Amino acid sequence: MVTTTDIFWRPSIGSGYEHLQLSKDDQQITVDSLVIGKTDEQTIFRVQYQISLDTNWNVRKVTIQCVGQEPSLILSSNGNGEWRDTQGKVISALDGCIDIDISCTPFTNTLPINRLVYAPSKQQEISVVYISVPDLCYRRVKQSYTLIETNINESIFTYQSGSFTENIKVGADGIVTEYPQLFLRE
């Protein structure tokens, strides 16, 4: 049986919106989302992305299209850290990355939060495929997540990438609810 959840985020500052549809069954998790936002006062973007995950939250495929801009970006993974481009060529620079981080959405922070097992105050360091929007360039980056507080309704994780650090709130469903200074779930 497929369960589908509609999720909405808006930026904490500025204008924009994201509508994400998360579907789960006993075989896979699929994500289909549309993000509308601004990179600055004059540059508006519309990004549509789809992510296919296995039931352990390992990314198997990501497709990102900036509406009105060609080409789209399509990357696929074996779920164990091997990535391939559209032509099936292995991207060795991404070896070992399980998760992705798309710059325009808080959803991709949900991936390692749901995939990894956390003990309070124990930092989990990972390498991810960081994808910037709207240029759709990708690269390997190091990130870490540390569970700092949890209760029946929410958990708080300290997220760190380079010199950037923020406490991200996640609901009981494992989805980001607040990414301070960036995104709020509605």
State mean pLDDT over 67-72: 86
- Whether pLDDT at 40 is above 90: no
pTM of the model: 0.95
Decide if 172 contacts 110 (C-beta within 8 A): no
User: How do residues 114-169 score in pLDDT, each as one tens digit?
Assistant: 999 999 999 999 999 999 998 999 999 999 999 999 999 999 999 999 999 999 99
Phi, psi (deg, nearest 5) at residue 106: -80, -15
Domain assignments of the chain as residue spans, ordered by start: 3-185
**Quick one: pLDDT at residue 21?**
99
Structure tokens at 22: 């998360």
Q: Please choose, from the candidates 64, 142, 160, the residue with its C-alpha nearest in 3D space to the C-alpha of residue 105.
A: 64
**Quick one: pLDDT at residue 48?**
97
CA distance 174 to 112: 10
Q: Please choose, from the candidates 100, 112, 26, the residue with its C-alpha nearest in 3D space to the C-alpha of residue 63.
A: 100
Query: For residue 13, what pLDDT band results from cuts at 50, 70 and 90?
Result: confident
- As to burial, measured by CB atoms within 10 angstroms (0-12 exposed, 13-18 middle, 19+ buried), residue 100 is buried
Mean pLDDT taken over the chain: 95
Decide if 30 contacts 52 (C-beta within 8 A): yes
Decide if 37 contacts 104 (C-beta within 8 A): yes
**Quick one: pLDDT at residue 14?**
82
CA distance 148 to 101: 21
